Amino acid sequence: MRVRTLVTGVIGADTHIVGNRILGMALEEAGYRVIALGALTPAADFVKAAIETAADAILVSSLYGQGELDCRGFRDLCVEAGLDDILLYVGGNLVVGKQPWPEVERRFLEMGFDRAFPPGTRVEDALAALAADFAGRAV
């Protein structure tokens, strides 16, 4: 089976890097090739990195509440770049304040993310979701 490539990073003006780095370590241990863009990454940089590395998925982290503004139009950026079907995940503290998760999730799925993950998601959950989604996709 070929090695899948994942682009990770923390979007926008957000500096919360710790969880993202730990996620990256776990993804690498699970056999993925990880392109880690780090903190404070503009949306366009995720897409650019995905093109350059022929990535299979983009995993966007946001912990500071402004993800709702930063992630608007993310799928459109991918489509414009020819990445119509790339797998898109987003996770973290995605909005300002404690809001009901189903509502927050719907907002991000409507933006074109394939999955959105709530605050406190552990790496095992992300690994399980990736395995399930890649199993359902032709290589």
CB of 54 to another protein, least distance (A): 25
What's the min distance (Å) between Cβ of 66 and another protein? 6
Q: Which two tokens stand for residue 40?
A: 């404070």
Task: Tell me how far, at minimum, the Cβ of 68 lies from another protein, in Å.
Answer: 6
Name the token pair of 128.
Answer: 């399980």
Q: How far is CA 58 from CA 12, 96, 99, 113, in A?
A: 15, 23, 25, 10
Give the integer Cα–Cα distance in Å for 85 and 56.
9
Instruction: Identify which of residues 101 and 134 has a Cβ nearer to another protein in the complex.
Output: 101
Element at 27 (helix H, strand E): helix 18-29
Q: Which is nearer to another protein, 86 or 95 (CB)?
A: 95
95 to each of 32, 37, 103, 108, how far by Cα in Å? 29, 22, 11, 10
Examine the residue annotation and report whether 14 is marked as an active-site residue of this protein: yes
Of 10 and 47, CB closest to another protein: 10
For the CB of residue 125, give the shortest distance to another protein in the complex, in Å: 13
The values of phi and psi at residue 117, to 5°, are -115, 135
Specify the residue, 22 or 131, whose C-beta has the smaller distance to another protein: 22
Residues that bind another protein (CB under 8 A): 10, 12-15, 17-19, 21-22, 25, 38-40, 63-66, 68-69, 93, 95-98, 119-120, 122
- Respond yes or no: is residue 16 known to be catalytic: yes
Q: Which residues carry out catalysis?
A: 14, 16
